[in-house]
Structure 1
Amino acid sequence: MENKAHALIAGLFTVALLIAALLGVMWFNSDRVERIPYEIATKLSVPGLNPQADVRYRGLDAGKVDTISFDPKSPGQILIRIKINPDTPMTQSTFATLGYQGVTGIAYIQLDDDGSKPLRLASSKQHLARVELRPSLFDNLQSKGAVMLARASEMVEKLNGLLDPENQKTMIKAFSDVSKTVDEYRPIPQQLQPTLRQLPVLTSELNQALTSVTTLSNNMTVLSKNLNTLTAGLQGPDGAVANLAGAVQNIGSVANGVEYDTLPRFNTLATETRSSMRTLNQTLDQFNQQPQSILFGSKALPPGPGEAGFVAPGK
């Protein structure tokens, strides 16, 4: 009887010791940091995310996921409550994305900040502040996967259409034509060899021609400078152009003198000469008609009307 009592006491002591060890472990592992609660509301899927999952701020541990539940006020919306360390810089521009640990598929909350609203985001149990959950890389790939598959299918169809028998014949014929063209152009380099051998001589002659052109250009530059000097000398105050202008002015003065002095005299002389010529012509006419007038003189003119001896015609 006494042995049974000792065995019962030993069993109870063992159970109490195990309970005390478990409580000690739980007490040592318990997190006694007072964290600030936040809430994430999203309609995105959150595969692999579980309560007590890590919350990281740009890779650093910042808290834990508290609970995950459906929003009774908005069908299809998921509410994720997280607890964040007090020293985490939560601002109004802080947002969350889902991250995954390696290939295990275990998800965690990744916090980041774009800096657009640097004001502190206050939160409490009575007034939970909400953090935006943005699509992760996996979500973007999942949403765009259908589009990518559709485009891939379309590309495959186009490739199939491109590689149909008729197009294959056309491409083979094109390759054959290219091969024939290459064969036809293959002798051309050999035919060009004599011309290529003459290129150094042509290059040397071209260099000489360029040297001659350079020399001619230099000579033209000197000639241009000389012409500029000559032009400046001609156009100077004592230059030929100024002297020529003076000579032209003198010629103008002489022409004005001839116009206003000599020409009137010449006109008078011409008038007198015309009168003398008319008189001479009249004398010659009279001589032709009456040659005897040289010896006997010219006949007297018949009397006119009213003069003595006038006889009217017809009487």
Structure 2
Amino acid sequence: MENKAHALAAGIFVLVVAAMLAGLAIWLTRDNTSYQQYEMTSKDGVTGLQPQAAVRYKGVAVGKVTRIGFDPQVPGNVLIRIAVNDQAPITPSTFAVLGYQGVTGLAHVQLDDEGVAEPPLPPGPSGLPRLPLRSSPLSRLAEQGPAILGQVEEATHRINQLLGDDNQKRFSQALDGMGQAASSVAALTQRLDTTVKERLDPALAALPPLAGDARQTLQALQQAGVQVSTLASDIGQATRRLSAEGGALDQITQGTQALARAADQFGSSTLPRVNRAADDASRAARQFGRTAGGINENPQLFIYGTGRASAGPGEPGFEAPKVQP
């Protein structure tokens, strides 16, 4: 009996100590802060956001996430309920975004204020006020990811085409050509220097005699110009004579028109007659050919005509004449 009494006393002592510890923990962790409940709805994913996640206003902790679920008003949207300290400066221009901490992937709600008031969102079925939840930079980057990947792929394809084997050969050939051109320019420069030293100086000395020769040449060119003008006037007169009414060009035009009329008449009247005569001759030739073929197969046509002769005795199809009674 004493053992049972000791065990009962020990059990009661443990229960009392456990209750005292629980009460102490609750008293130490009690939160007397007054909170205001808000709701947010978003069509984006909230990966990494958990209940009890921190709510920060410009980096300062002002509350926590109390519930994460689905919005009954907008199918497919996520509904987030947060508790924010009454001392937080929440204004009509306050909005929320999802922030991510380090490389852990854990998310929190970041409140901010741009000072530009936005139209207030209507409260949900719970009657709690709603704050606008904007897409986070990570969400916008994920939305633009396919377009960025497509552009990167296109740029990579173009770079691969630019750096292909054929283009590399062309670049090598272009570089070789540039090297050869540089060598040619250097050689040409040397030749120009040599030419200037060896030929230009003597030529400068011979310029006065050349000037006299140039004057004579100009006079000869003037005389040639006068002769050319005379020749041009003669050619103009000949052209006017050819182009005049009844001239050579007019006669050639009339002859060409007569030849065209004769060709049209030949094509409209003579050719059809020739074609009909050719058709008649072709039909006669075909009939003559059929007649010659028939005579070749059955020479008896000259005697019996086109009808077939009756078979004689001993020939296939022979029939004896009937005897009259």
The TM-score with structure 1 as length reference comes to 0.55
Q: In 1, are the aligned partners of 2:100 and 2:107 still within 8 Å (CA)?
A: yes
Output the CA distance in 2 between the equivalents of 1:89 and 1:34.
14
User: Relative to structure 1, is the Cα distance of residues 158 and 7 closer, same or farther in structure 2, using a 3 angstrom cutoff?
Assistant: same
1:7 CA displacement: 2.2
Output the CA distance in 1 between the equivalents of 2:190 and 2:58.
68
What amino acid is the match of 2:36? Answer: I
Deviations 1:133-158 (A, max 9, x none): 11111111111111110111111111
User: Relative to structure 1, is the Cα distance of residues 181 and 15 closer, same or farther in structure 2, using a 3 angstrom cutoff?
Assistant: farther
Tell me, yes or no, if structure 1 residue 21 matches structure 2 residue 29: no
Output the CA distance in 2 between the equivalents of 1:168 and 1:72.
62
What SS class does the counterpart of residue 72 from structure 1 fall into?
A: coil
Q: In 2, are the aligned partners of 1:70 and 1:79 still within 8 Å (CA)?
A: yes
Deviations 1:148-195 (A, max 9, x none): 10111111111222223222211111122233344455689999xxxx
1:279 corresponds in structure 2 to none
Tell me, yes or no, if structure 1 residue 55 matches structure 2 residue 24: no
More deviation in 181-190 or 23-32? 181-190
User: Relative to structure 1, is the Cα distance of residues 147 and 132 closer, same or farther in structure 2, using a 3 angstrom cutoff?
Assistant: same
1:108 corresponds in structure 2 to 108
1:97 corresponds in structure 2 to 97
1:291 corresponds in structure 2 to none
Output the CA distance in 2 between the equivalents of 1:124 and 1:72.
9
Number of matched pairs: 192
What amino acid is the match of 1:3? Answer: N
* Overall identity of the aligned pairs, in %: 41
Deviations 1:119-142 (A, max 9, x none): 999x99963111111111111111
User: Relative to structure 1, is the Cα distance of residues 130 and 190 closer, same or farther in structure 2, using a 3 angstrom cutoff?
Assistant: farther
2:39 corresponds in structure 1 to 39
Gaps of 5+ in 1: 192-315
Aligned counterparts, 1:210-249, within 5 A: none
Q: In 2, are the aligned partners of 1:38 and 1:82 still within 8 Å (CA)?
A: yes
Q: In 1, are the aligned partners of 2:73 and 2:124 still within 8 Å (CA)?
A: no
Q: In 2, are the aligned partners of 1:42 and 1:77 still within 8 Å (CA)?
A: yes
Output the CA distance in 2 between the equivalents of 1:169 and 1:104.
50
Gaps of 5+ in 2: 192-325
C-alpha RMSD over aligned residues: 3.1
Output the CA distance in 2 between the equivalents of 1:51 and 1:189.
83
Output the CA distance in 2 between the equivalents of 1:21 and 1:125.
40
What amino acid is the match of 2:39? Answer: E
Output the CA distance in 1 between the equivalents of 2:113 and 2:179.
61
Output the CA distance in 2 between the equivalents of 1:137 and 1:119.
23
Larger radius of gyration: 1
Output the CA distance in 2 between the equivalents of 1:120 and 1:44.
20
Q: In 1, are the aligned partners of 2:40 and 2:131 still within 8 Å (CA)?
A: yes
1:101 CA displacement: 1.4
The TM-score with structure 2 as length reference comes to 0.53
1:7 corresponds in structure 2 to 7
2:130 corresponds in structure 1 to 130
Output the CA distance in 2 between the equivalents of 1:17 and 1:105.
40
Q: In 2, are the aligned partners of 1:90 and 1:120 still within 8 Å (CA)?
A: no
User: Relative to structure 1, is the Cα distance of residues 118 and 161 closer, same or farther in structure 2, using a 3 angstrom cutoff?
Assistant: closer
Output the CA distance in 2 between the equivalents of 1:135 and 1:189.
68
What SS class does the counterpart of residue 129 from structure 1 fall into?
A: coil
Deviations 1:287-307 (A, max 9, x none): xxxxxxxxxxxxxxxxxxxxx
1:73 CA displacement: 2.6
User: Relative to structure 1, is the Cα distance of residues 63 and 125 closer, same or farther in structure 2, using a 3 angstrom cutoff?
Assistant: farther
